[in-house]
Amino acid sequence: MTARKVVVTGMGVVSPLGCDLQKFWERLVNGQSGIRRIQSFDASAYTSQIAGEVVEFDPNAFVPRKEQRHMDPFCLYGVAAAKMAVADSGLQMDQVNGDRAGVIIGSGVGGLQITFEQSKVLVARGPSRFSPFMIPQMIMNILSGLVAIEYGLKGPNYCIVSACASATHSLGESLRIIQHGEADLMLSGGAEGAICELSLGGFCAMRALSTRNDNPAGASRPFDKDRDGFVMGEGSGVLVLEELEHARKRGAKIYCELAGYGRTCDAYHITAPDEAGRGAARGMSLAIQDAGLTPDQIDYINAHGTSTPLGDKCETLAIKAALGEPQARKVMISSTKSMTGHLLGAAGAIESVACVLTLKNGVIPPTINYTTPDPDCDLDYVPNQARTAKVRACLNNSLGFGGHNATLCFKAMDY
């Protein structure tokens, strides 16, 4: 059976660079950083005191005040992004066959903030004072459930948790569901709201975070020789994926095709990537093959590019292995984490939004803060300035703790 084509018809984003598509895109291509000193709590005792916090979000525009009290930030962000994506798609949800529509929205850590707050309640006031809403607030799958309830979507519904690959896996599995005829429409992506004392302390203890506290905007510097760790971010991205004929029948605006998906595991180390980049390379190759393309047809890669010393080096090796010479040196690469920080389980979703907008607009977002070339990272990372270029097909890489690798391939409809 020939796999059905899947297209992107709507997108929504909550991010450190803004909470609507236009602002997000404009700030991204202008090289604007959303990373600042942490404002939501006193971080002065931590070795890293910076993050990509969401600062322009108005939850009242998306969720009634009474319901907000029972939702962790990751759910607020995810519900808002889903509603924006539906609005962008032009879908009339009361006309959608709910049995043929589903939701997969991933998260790396889910309701960490409510878990942390309730742990303080336990210590200070005892077990009788827990909130009865604690469990549904903290569990990661609750976001997919909330979105399904909002729109009456009764098809496939679950949550994927694969660390920093969660959103990319979610989009890829949604692609498969539609390709195989199990649904015609999926809302998919990722959400994270994990910037709190607990998570910051854990990542600081790992020495995984940048400590450039005196220069927040310059702290995330993927592929730069002087990179010293990643910067935490938060937010959500949700995409509307539809079977092509389903979208055409309703006269939908079609951004592009989600054409390929590859997923592998390093089976190497709980946090470090395979030093040769073999798992990530195979994931990229699988996504390219799945899309019916060859490496020389890939024009752009939105890299995982976290700004960690080992991670960026290994991803560079992986790109070389997957694309080969001379294509690896021709392909344009950027890490939008240089501006948003690392949204953990939501990263692949907002980076997929960036890929789709790159295809649509013919502009490559830059990798900002690239000032000192690294001999180990010697490809074209589109440094510091956006670049106008025709993009026919692009990859989005996500590489998570545990060795989880996922790559998506988006391509233009006329390609």
Known catalytic residues? 164, 304, 342
For the record, the structure tokens of 337 come out as 């984490």
Do the beta carbons of residue 137 and residue 111 sit within 8 Å? yes
Non-local CB neighbours of 244 within 8 Å, separated by 6+ positions: 4, 5, 6, 7, 254, 257
Task: Please spell the DSSP secondary structure of 282-346, one letter per residue.
Answer: HHHHHHHHHTT--GGG--EEE----S-HHHHHHHHHHHHHHH-TTHHHHSEEE-THHHH-B-GGG
The greatest distance separating any two alpha carbons of the chain, rounded to the nearest whole angstrom, comes to 65
Strands 363-364 and 235-243: unpaired
For the record, the structure tokens of 81 come out as 């992004």
Q: Rounded to 5 degrees, what are φ and ψ at 101?
A: -135, 145
Non-local CB neighbours of 344 within 8 Å, separated by 6+ positions: 108, 109, 163, 164, 166, 192, 194, 232, 233
Do the beta carbons of residue 230 and residue 208 sit within 8 Å? yes
Query: 3-state class of 170 per DSSP?
Result: helix
Residue matched to tokens 């984003």 = 13
Of 369, 368, 281, nearest to 327 (Cα)? Answer: 281
Do the beta carbons of residue 82 and residue 191 sit within 8 Å? no
